[in-house]
Amino acid sequence: MCTGVFLEYLRTDREKQRKLSNTAKDELVAINIATIAMAYNLELCVHMTFQNIIPHYKDSHKADTAVMAVPRNDPQRMAAFLPTINQYPCMMMTAPDFNFLEHDFLEKLPFVIGREPEILKKANWLIHLARLLRGHLHDRNSYIEAARTRGLARVSFPEIVSDIQVQASLANAECVDMLQLLEQIPIITQTLESVGRSYKNAGKPTTLIPPDAFKEAIVQLRKIVEPLIQRMPDQPEANNSSRKAGG
């Protein structure tokens, strides 16, 4: 009888260990999928930074500087400025769809949140930033399409000034949003990797390898964003400089 009880205990224990092992493997797979999603988002943000966000920022502000230098009491200078808009092609460059992956941590990674509660707040903030940027890009495209439809034939100089200033303002917002995204994605991924490494004998955790241009993207965006922060009124302290700008 004792032998039967002992064998039943061993069988139950093995079944329990098997279930725990399967659960650990499944959870590590979910962590790796989230890490891969963050890696994709990081590559997307770096690519858009250099191919679209920064070129649009530079040309918008060059045009803004040029138009503000035109005397408002000189009709000839104002008329002469209009054809020069073509010198700033990236100001009128529309943005492609921003296909940022909004990974649902609450639904897919509750076991990670249980160990690292802060990651839920950071993940939701990341989604918020992505939606802000998507909204700014949409607004940029809408203004550009409206300007193209209207054309330059009957546009007044004040309208040109307003259009340029709108693009410069949107360019500022896009840079602030993008910098925060680039700063937050690695922080979230580091937490995922740390939790993944705690799963022993459940598989290999995925590690984020940032794109080669990642550091340069951060450098370039900080050069743009930091002067914007300095011109802002005093605000409560935040976790980092760009978050303060976005607040």
**For residues 131 and 64, what is the distance between their CA atoms, to the nearest angstrom?**
27
Q: Which two tokens stand for residue 112?
A: 């990670």
Q: Are 247 and 238 contacting, i.e. CB atoms less than 8 angstroms apart? A: yes
Q: Look at 241 and 91; give whichever has higher pLDDT.
A: 91
pLDDT digit string, tens, across residues 43-90: 999 999 999 999 999 999 999 999 999 998 898 999 899 889 999 999
Band of residue 154 on the pLDDT scale cut at 50, 70, 90: confident
With tokens 């000034």, the residue in question is: 161
Residue 172 CB contacts under 8 Å (≥ 6 apart), including other chains: 57, 224, 228
Q: Are 105 and 123 contacting, i.e. CB atoms less than 8 angstroms apart? A: yes
Residue 155 has what DSSP assignment?
A: -
Q: Are 237 and 222 contacting, i.e. CB atoms less than 8 angstroms apart? A: no
Instruction: For the chain, give the percent of residues with pLDDT over 90.
Output: 72
Tell whether the model's pLDDT for residue 233 goes beyond 90: no
pTM for this model (two decimals): 0.84
**For residues 225 and 242, what is the distance between their CA atoms, to the nearest angstrom?**
7
Q: What is the pLDDT of residue 245?
A: 44
Q: Which two tokens stand for residue 83?
A: 């054809």
Q: Are 173 and 136 contacting, i.e. CB atoms less than 8 angstroms apart? A: yes
Tell whether the model's pLDDT for residue 4 goes beyond 70: no
Q: What are the extents of the domains in the chain? A: 28-246
Q: Are 52 and 95 contacting, i.e. CB atoms less than 8 angstroms apart? A: yes
**For residues 227 and 35, what is the distance between their CA atoms, to the nearest angstrom?**
33
Residue 186: strand, helix, or coil: helix
